[in-house]
Amino acid sequence: METQQDSSSASGESRFIFFADICQSTALYDHLGDVEAARLMMYCLEACARQVEADSGRMVDTRGDEVLCLFTDVVEALRAATALHAFTQNDPRCLEHRISLRIGIHHGPVIELKGEIYGDAVNLAARLADKSKAGQTLLSAGVKAQVPDTLDRLLRPVGKSTIRGKQGVTELFELLSNSDSEDITEVSRRVQRPGRSLQLRLSFQGKQHRLSQMTTRFTLGRNAECDLCVPHASVSRLHAEIRYRNGRFHLFDVSTNGTRVLTRTNTFAVHRSDLMLQHQGAICLGRTLRQPNLHLAFTVR
């Protein structure tokens, strides 16, 4: 079990507890073998972690084929669930292996000690994920009660159900299709706490580019028509894009050879996926890792 350590501890504070489970992972191990299946699991779990972080959540734990996360805002939790289902429905690797997620979200008090979280609410969130079908998100009544009225139409009651380990019945709700994800984002923007807008500075071969919250799409690639052209044979004509989304800058790789993002402490491989850009580092398109003159230095402030 891998646990993300956090110096803070919460005693009985209520959170939105978010479980996501990769469906039919046992069948994938049987079909692909241990090594390839494990790589695929890691690919999906890393995508979950990036999305949760992008939506202001925190991944607390990974347990084989599932992730446990915490959110303080219900809209952000719903947006993360919607985005993760959309990821599995559009990502080539997920489509090839028919990967989907089951997600359960509950709201209640949690106790956090040394990076681990405990409490009956955690168990209930896990049970909701167990009850979900492939591609479905189930919510407890406690979550539904805190969803803004403007998003009520995205929830559908699915009746009352018994939950293993719980007495009586629990009323459940389903988060509806991904086609309404823009509505979730729009509500989130309206309720977002005010803060200083970020700016991203890109530096490449002596030229500076400044990106702001008004930047909807900044293109990188070998094509001279891109906003920033990197002339190297391993760089795709349209290799990647930088977009400002939900208060953060994200790099989206759409290339053949992938992208490396270097920070002070880590190197991230991004291929047909996205990564949130933070602090400062360098972007290496294609096979330019060992060619510093082709690195794109970035600073986010």
pLDDT of residue 149: 81
Strongest mean pLDDT among 56-65, 131-140, 156-165 = 131-140
Confidence band for 289, pLDDT divided at 50, 70 and 90: very high
Contacts of 45 by beta carbon, 8 Å cutoff, 6+ apart? 22, 62, 67
Beta-bridge partner residues of 243: 250
Greatest Cα pair distance, the chain, in angstroms, is: 67
Which of 67, 79, 86 lies closest to 25 in space, CA to CA? 67
Determine how many CB atoms are found less than 10 A away from the CB of residue 38: 15
| pTM of model > 0.75 | no
pLDDT of residue 143: 93
Tell me the torsion sign for CA atoms 74, 79, 85, 87: negative
Could you report the per-residue pLDDT of 2-60, keeping only the tens digit for each? Answer: 434 444 444 568 899 999 999 888 888 888 898 988 899 989 988 888 888 888 888 88
Q: DSSP string spanning 175-200?
A: E--GGGHHHHHHHHHHHSPP-PPP-E
Residue where the block lists tokens 């992208």: 259
Beta-bridge partner residues of 204: 207
Which of 89, 96, 90, 97 lies closest to 65 in space, CA to CA? 97
Which of 145, 142, 100 lies closest to 124 in space, CA to CA? 142
Cα–Cα distance for residue pair 119/108, rounded to 1 Å: 9
Helix, strand or coil, per DSSP, at residue 217: coil
Strongest mean pLDDT among 113-127, 139-153, 183-197, 278-292 = 278-292
Cα–Cα distance for residue pair 141/147, rounded to 1 Å: 10
257-295 burial: b if 16+ Cβ within 10 Å, else e? bbbbbbeeeeebebeebbbbbeeebbbbbbebeeeeebb
Cα–Cα distance for residue pair 172/278, rounded to 1 Å: 37
Write down all domains in the chain, each with its CATH number in brackets: 9-191 (3.30.70.1230), 200-300 (2.60.200.20)
pLDDT of residue 16: 94
Plot region of 190 (φ>0 → left; ψ -120 to 50 → alpha; else → beta): alpha
Could you report the per-residue pLDDT of 166-216, keeping only the tens digit for each? Answer: 656 678 999 986 444 445 555 444 444 444 467 899 999 999 999 987 777
Confidence band for 165, pLDDT divided at 50, 70 and 90: low
